[in-house]
């Protein structure tokens, strides 16, 4: 997994990994602002994620995702940002996030599926096997982008504590190697 020093804190991981639950708590612990990429897209376009997929298709959603991300990352003050589960599949997103700190929330596919199977997320409609394949494929991108992985199948407060500790350890490692 790669290591970065500065920049924004980006939470990645599959749908259901708790990015939008852990994100605000992490932001509060660090006194950062929190943003959710999906919410920013919805606010910018005035349409729900499900409607975007239905009316305009996934490719348009990915383009809008890239645009909203680019705007959020241009903020001068570090923030905590929850990415969408599929955003790192876009090579242009991948290059945009290079100088930021990416944290990967991970759990077994079944645990993630259990959390999202009743949700209105458009890609959940494709079923468990498609979700499993998606998770399998995306793991590579998550692993390549992230500084470290955290088990998200536990209490959000514990996840936040773990992330804060790991961030401290990474900061120290980084300073020692300078
Ligand atoms: C998606 C995940 C969703 C949302 C969209 C597509 C994906 O975000 O961006 O439905 O491709 O995994 P969450 O990961 O926040 O559910």
- pLDDT tens digit sequence for 129-138: 999 999 999 9
Which residues touch 130 (CB under 8 Å, ≥6 apart)?
123
Structural fold of domain 9-177: Rossmann fold (3.40.50)
Q: Beta-carbon neighbour count of residue 96 at 10 Å? A: 18
CB-based contact 60:52 (threshold 8 Å): yes
pLDDT of residue 55: 97
Dihedral (C-alpha) 38, 43, 44, 48: value to the nearest 10 degrees? 60
- Determine the distance separating the centroid of ligand 1 and the alpha carbon of 33, expressed in angstroms: 21
Of the candidates 134, 80, 70, which has an alpha carbon nearest to the alpha carbon of residue 102?
A: 80
Helix 156-177, helix 19-30: angle, nearest 10: 60
- Residue-range domain boundaries for the chain: 9-177
Instruction: Give the position of tokens 């997929």.
Output: 53
Q: How confident is the model at residue 3, as a pLDDT?
A: 38
Ligand 1 binding residues, C-beta < 6 A = 15, 19-20, 38, 49, 84-86, 121-123
Residues whose CB is less than 8 angstroms from the CB of residue 154 and which lie 6 or more positions away in sequence, other chains included: none
Average pLDDT of the segment spanning 101-126: 97
Half-sphere exposure of 59 (CA within 13 A, CB side): 0
Percent of the chain clearing pLDDT 90 (strictly above): 90
Residues 90-111 have a mean pLDDT of: 96
Q: What separation in Å is there between the alpha carbon of 97 and the centre of ligand 1?
A: 17
């Amino acid at each position: 997994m790669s290591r970065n020093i500065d920049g924004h804190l980006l939470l990645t991981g599959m749908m259901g990994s708790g990015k939008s639950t852990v994100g605000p708590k992490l932001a509060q612990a660090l006194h950062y602002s929190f943003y959710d990429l999906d919410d920013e897209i919805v606010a910018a376009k005035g349409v729900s994620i499900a409607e975007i997929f239905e009316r305009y298709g996934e490719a348009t959603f990915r383009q809008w995702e890239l645009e909203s991300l680019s705007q959020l990352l241009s903020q001068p003050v570090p923030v905590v940002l929850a990415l969408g589960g599929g955003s790192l599949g876009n090579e242009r997103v991948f290059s945009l996030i290079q100088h930021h700190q990416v944290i990967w929330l991970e759990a077994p596919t079944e645990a993630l599926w259990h959390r999202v199977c009743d949700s209105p997320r458009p890609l959940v409609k494709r079923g468990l096997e498609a979700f499993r394949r998606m998770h399998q494929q995306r793991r590579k991108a998550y692993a390549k982008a992230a500084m470290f992985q955290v088990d998200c199948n536990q209490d959000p407060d514990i996840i936040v504590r773990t992330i804060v500790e790991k961030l401290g350890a990474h900061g120290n490692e980084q300073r020692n190697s300078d």
